[in-house]
Amino acid sequence: MAEDKFPGWHGTTILAVRRGGQVVVAGDGQVSLGQTVIKGSARKVRRLSPGGRDVVCGFAGSTADAFTLLERLEKKLEAMPGQLARASVDLAKDWRMDKYLRNLEAMLIVTDGTDLFVITGAGDVLEPEHDIAAIGSGGNFALAAARGLMTTDMAAEDIARKAMAIAADICVYTNGNLTVETIAAL
């Protein structure tokens, strides 16, 4: 595990909220080593456009590992345009079975606006309940806050921003420097 090699690495809260025909993915910018903030403006939410079709991805964990996984996902989506579920399952299978990939330490949230998945190295492709997904150090705080805010009439982006602010107030490994990407349902 990465913590064995690099004890004290923490950081990242990624939150996705689906509401009103769109999905918003928000990620904070903090990367910490022990009690020290190494960087406060990391960009952990990205937009991929394989085959001209947008997919928004957020990642938690090792940056190099996450980029490796995002590149693999992009290639799978190029080979299977418009099939995010199939590409995600194929990626999760490869990640679990491949000798090299199985050592990667990251988690992904991916969406094309219609489908929303959390992909893990354990071979999981999870569809979140309640139209909310969250990963990372402050993921549980952001998830709880977003679930509470879903009872309001707030828009998806407003819920994501408010929930991330709540997580940043509670989790010392999360800051308020957000990257936010919105994608409409197909």
Could you read off the pLDDT of 117-128 as tens digits, one per residue? 999 988 899 999
Q: Look at the pTM and tell me if it is higher than 0.75.
A: yes
Q: What is the arithmetic mean of pLDDT over 57-67?
A: 90
* pLDDT (0 to 100) of residue 27: 97
Please pick, among 12, 13, 111, 174, the residue that the annotation labels catalytic: 12
Angle formed by the axes of helices 84-97 and 63-79, to 10°? 130
DSSP 167: H
4-33: per-residue pLDDT in tens? 444 444 568 999 999 999 999 999 999 888
Query: Is 12 among the residues known to form the active site?
Result: yes
Q: Are 91 and 124 in contact (CB under 8 A)?
A: no
Q: Are 136 and 12 in contact (CB under 8 A)?
A: yes
Domains of the chain: 2-171 (3.60.20.10)
